[in-house]
Structure 1
């Protein structure tokens, strides 16, 4: 176990080193405290939910692995989330999907038979934890996903079903926000598209546009509910050649309809720099951005987030351009080859580490060098910052928030496996 005095000693040295280059480590840690992450509940149960957990996953959704201890009930899932939150410094949020409704009568329900009150279980739990909740419409794993289409389907009956679901998703999100007294961010992602090259690319998007406008027709107080729209480059399997809800489509929709745009780090071509999207979006809107932190490996495979170059570029852009106050950060991955609670903690702590690294820089000084065309200074300083004692500041941040430092949290995971998760199988 890491000794507190060891952490304090290392931190004092790091604090002095950073002060030499004009960086206030205390201010950076206080800034990080104000950035909540939205943990995705579906990492804990492999995206089965509680409406009909035996339903096969469809719509390009697939989970790999069968590590023991998967959550099977609402109480097991919230227990796992509580354990994860106890190992992540700071105060955070949890993102739900409509399939995680907990019917009060215990009976299975169709997606569109859900009532807002079916989320009272989650609302009561969130109040107990002192956290907020976000939501997502579930436009997959249902018989009414026909030919990889939902709101863009040429079949009016199919479109009408999913339009109703979209409206219900907003009603539920408004109810959650109203009950918790804080905004519930409600995300839309739909799997509509074609496996092979379509002849008509325009009509499906016109149908989708009309469907979304119908879903969004009713106004809800933004203090309770705000909608965000998530595009995708391609999906696997089924829509490799054409995605109706592309990045451009949803970005334009968000800007013209004054909604939020969702960027998922796994939904772009592997050679694209996701971090470059932010500065192209914000000048055209007064609305916020929802950032889904994920890790693609060649495709949108939703690996557990780690501190890699892509994540560091994302967090640097958000920090350097002072966009954190207008960006809501959520996690979005699922891995059943490892302990599911550990995946949450690794991903969340990696995101926080990357944010903190970005904050531990003399940003104003670096910008001034850039304005002065002193690119030599800019390059030297950004390179030298990479070997600064960031880890000591991170350890201090964890210690100050009463969560395990360094490798110590692995002991918590192993004990939780032994006492709770492994007893489920």
Structure 2
């Protein structure tokens, strides 16, 4: 960046800093705090959730990646290279979220219930070199034993046992991540189980799921290395009428068994938002996992935008002093646009939302609200929407030596020309 532009960003930051100081907000301290917020970036944006087990196979389990933009990663090396490129555009130190289908088995067929830490050794070494944490997910979809849409709740015990063993293996892989990288790995259990049409017996599948989960979590693992999470859903493709792992089921299970509840932004009614659920759940649970996505009429996992709801999610985390209790993961995949750009847009927006929330005089606003002065509350909330948070963001990017403003787009375009277009 030219010296003239750098000086302009610094000067603009000083002006913005002075404006925020009027409300007792120390922007230098905010920038120290935002750097501690680690976003778990999902690996599956880079290859449309194909994984390495059967890259040519079709997705099942209510998952769809639409579009055919050229340049998808075809192997572990390409995927890691793409993620490396994304990390150069994102300020701060973050995490990577892996699915079990991203195991590296050296060309050998290894069933999912037989996966071991050694199949993720390359990911761990890669993460160590970059100072990143890793999170994990069993992959209970796109498999011959999930073809009928049932896994851990399947009436056939042999099928249930296969997926139980897979989830147990996933927990040991997660523990390995935590031990090797010095930061607890969050492993999230999501299953596609449900029915397209109305079932007669809603109870029996849920009883089977409960028993399966009890068996999966039977072995205690040190939370310094590994944390368990369970993810609910309202409906999916092929499970439009009934989902075994509903919100009520998993909320009850998580609270009773001291597991993290996972709230996915796309897993509820179109008018229902997860921002409103955060403070409710954390009244009764120590920690919480978020999957931040953007649903468009359904759980379509669009790239995260800086919407009101994204800002509301961040505001709830900051206002409630929940930063150390909420694990923020991303979950979107768009194959209709440049995949590197999708990662950059979504991740930068999540960090921006957290930064904007930290620049709010929340303590003052809480006092105003407690005194019943709703006029001042509304007026200030609206005024702060146009406060110069963008100047703080640009300065943060500058100090972290990542692209400022839209400069990252040129980097993506060059990478597409030099790397992606040749795949």
Q: Same fold (TM over 0.5)?
A: yes
How many residues in Structure 1 have an aligned counterpart in Structure 2?
Answer: 421
1:148 Cα shift? 1.1
Partner of 1:282 in structure 2?
282
Q: Secondary structure at the match of 1:365?
A: helix
Q: Secondary structure at the match of 1:218?
A: coil
1:110 Cα shift? 2.0
Asked if the contact 1:52–1:108 (Cα under 8 Å) also holds between the matched residues in 2, the reply is no
Partner of 2:38 in structure 1?
36
Asked if the contact 1:51–1:111 (Cα under 8 Å) also holds between the matched residues in 2, the reply is no
1:282 Cα shift? 1.1
Partner of 2:109 in structure 1?
108
Partner of 2:252 in structure 1?
252
**Structure 1 residue ranges, 4+ long, deviating more than 3 angstroms after superposition:** none
1:326 Cα shift? 0.2
Q: Any stretches of 5+ residues in structure 1 without a counterpart?
A: none
Per-residue CA shift, 1:250-289, capped at 9, x if unaligned? 111111111111111111111012111011111112x310
Per-residue CA shift, 1:311-365, capped at 9, x if unaligned? 1111111111111110010110000111111111100100111111111111111
Asked if the contact 2:275–2:312 (Cα under 8 Å) also holds between the matched residues in 1, the reply is yes
1:76 Cα shift? 0.2
Partner of 1:412 in structure 2?
411
What is the alpha-carbon distance in structure 1 between the residues aligned to residue 109 and residue 393 of structure 2?
45
Partner of 2:142 in structure 1?
141
1:106 Cα shift? 2.4
What is the alpha-carbon distance in structure 2 between the residues aligned to residue 56 and residue 411 of structure 1?
33
What is the alpha-carbon distance in structure 1 between the residues aligned to residue 25 and residue 133 of structure 2?
32
Partner of 2:121 in structure 1?
120
Q: CA RMSD in A?
A: 1.0
Structural mapping, 1:216-255, within 5 Å: 216-236=217-237, 238-255=238-255
Q: Secondary structure at the match of 2:145?
A: coil
Q: Any stretches of 5+ residues in structure 2 without a counterpart?
A: none
1:116 Cα shift? 1.4
Structural mapping, 1:213-362, within 5 Å: 213-236=214-237, 238-285=238-285, 287-362=286-361
What is the alpha-carbon distance in structure 1 between the residues aligned to residue 167 and residue 209 of structure 2?
12
What is the alpha-carbon distance in structure 2 between the residues aligned to residue 279 and residue 328 of structure 1?
14
What is the alpha-carbon distance in structure 2 between the residues aligned to residue 177 and residue 23 of structure 1?
35
Per-residue CA shift, 1:145-196, capped at 9, x if unaligned? 1421100011111111111111111111111211222211101100000111
Asked if the contact 2:115–2:166 (Cα under 8 Å) also holds between the matched residues in 1, the reply is no
Partner of 1:391 in structure 2?
390
